[in-house]
């Protein structure tokens, strides 16, 4: 049942709901999920710099990535208005995310799609529970998942996003140092890329975040 909006959400209700969303992430396929306070969210200009040096394939070609993603000062202000978030981790088989075959065959898109689905569903459920300002961030460019063979319609003046309730900015695209945050909460994260053999890492990692209240 859809809840009415409350001027103040009782702390007991909030904590029960946060745990419900954490469990929901696991039900939807997350390897782990944690309730975090927003003071552990790290926003760092160096993360945004990694989108530029060397320039990412998705730089400038979708509305949720730089240079169109919000500037980091705005992100800091947004995050400061939330108390809690659900930090979500999906562990990925190395063959799906490391090495040249993962890119050539678009194997990396499987785990990215899963994270977008988890984040979107939790954000929507929180919205209808009365957390109307809930805000989600996924992992990797949304264009790779939703519009790999088409231009981003949101960059066309007067045109909306084709998937407005599912496409999200990534944590890294808005400057969040997701890897360091993951290390802080005890998750093992390994750097992967096209030059890394799948045998060189035990797993890949996708990270997502839903700010709740």
State the pLDDT at residue 197.
94
Summarised one tens digit per residue, pLDDT across range 39-63 is: 999 999 999 999 999 999 999 999 9
Q: Using pLDDT thresholds of 50, 70 and 90, give the confidence band for residue 71.
A: very high
Average pLDDT of the chain is 96
What is the rounded (10 degree) CA torsion for 202, 27, 101, 139?
A: -90
% of residues, the chain, pLDDT over 70: 100
**What's the gap between Cα 34 and its chain centre?**
14
pLDDT given for residue 18 in this prediction: 98
Q: Could you tell me if residue 43 is inside a domain?
A: yes
- Rounded mean pLDDT, 162-180: 97
93 is a domain residue: yes
Number of structural domains the chain divides into:
1
Average pLDDT of the segment spanning 192-200? 93
Let me know if residue 5 belongs to a domain: no
Q: For residue 50, count other CB atoms closer than 10 A to its CB.
A: 13
Task: Give the span between the Cα atoms of 80 and 110, in whole angstroms.
Answer: 32
Q: What angle do CA 58, 62, 67 make, to 5 degrees?
A: 80
Domain presence at residue 117: yes
What is the extent of the structural domain holding 148?
11-211
Q: What is the pLDDT of residue 106?
A: 84
Q: What is the mean pLDDT of residues 132-157?
A: 96
pLDDT digits (tens, 9 = 90+) for 90-142: 999 999 999 999 988 888 899 999 999 999 999 999 999 999 999 999 999 99
Residue 3 lies in a domain: no
pLDDT for res 93 = 96
C-alpha distances (whole Å) from 61 to each of 54, 82, 174, 185, 198 are: 15, 30, 15, 33, 29
Which pLDDT does position 28 carry in this prediction?
98
- Nearest C-alpha neighbor of 136 from the set 107, 188, 173, 111: 173
- Predicted local confidence at residue 105, as pLDDT: 87
74-86 pLDDT, tens digit each: 999 999 999 999 9
- With respect to residue 99, please indicate whether it lies within any of the assigned structural domains: yes
Report d(CA 194, CA 201) in Å as an integer: 12
pLDDT at residue 1 is higher than 90: no
Which pLDDT score is estimated for 104? 86
Domain assignment present for residue 77? The answer is yes
How do 84-92 and 32-37 pair as beta strands? antiparallel
Percent of the chain with pLDDT over 90: 95
* Location of structure tokens 């060189």: 200
In this structure, is residue 96 part of a structural domain? yes
Q: Around Cβ 204, how many Cβ atoms within 10 Å?
A: 23
Say what the pLDDT of residue 56 is. 93
């Amino acid at each position: 049942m859809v809840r009415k909006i409350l001027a103040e959400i009782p702390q007991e209700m909030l904590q029960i709901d946060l745990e419900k969303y954490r469990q929901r992430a696991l039900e939807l396929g997350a390897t782990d999920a944690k309730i975090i306070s927003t003071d552990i969210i790290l926003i760092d200009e160096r993360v945004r710099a990694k989108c530029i040096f060397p320039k990412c394939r998705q730089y400038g070609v979708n509305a949720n990535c730089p240079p169109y993603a919000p500037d980091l000062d705005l992100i800091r202000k947004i995050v400061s208005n939330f108390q809690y978030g659900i930090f979500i981790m999906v562990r990925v088989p190395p063959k799906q995310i490391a090495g040249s075959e993962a890119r050539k065959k678009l194997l990396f898109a499987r785990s990215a799609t899963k994270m977008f689905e988890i984040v979107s569903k939790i954000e929507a459920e929180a919205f209808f529970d009365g957390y109307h300002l809930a805000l989600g961030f996924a992992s990797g460019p949304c264009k790779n998942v939703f519009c790999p063979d088409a231009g981003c319609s949101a960059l066309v003046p007067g045109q909306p996003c084709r998937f407005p309730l599912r496409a999200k900015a990534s944590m890294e695209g808005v400057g969040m140092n997701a890897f360091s945050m993951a290390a802080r909460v005890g998750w093992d994260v390994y750097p992967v890329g096209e030059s890394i053999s799948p045998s060189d890492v035990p797993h890949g990692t996708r990270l997502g975040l839903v700010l709740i209240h």
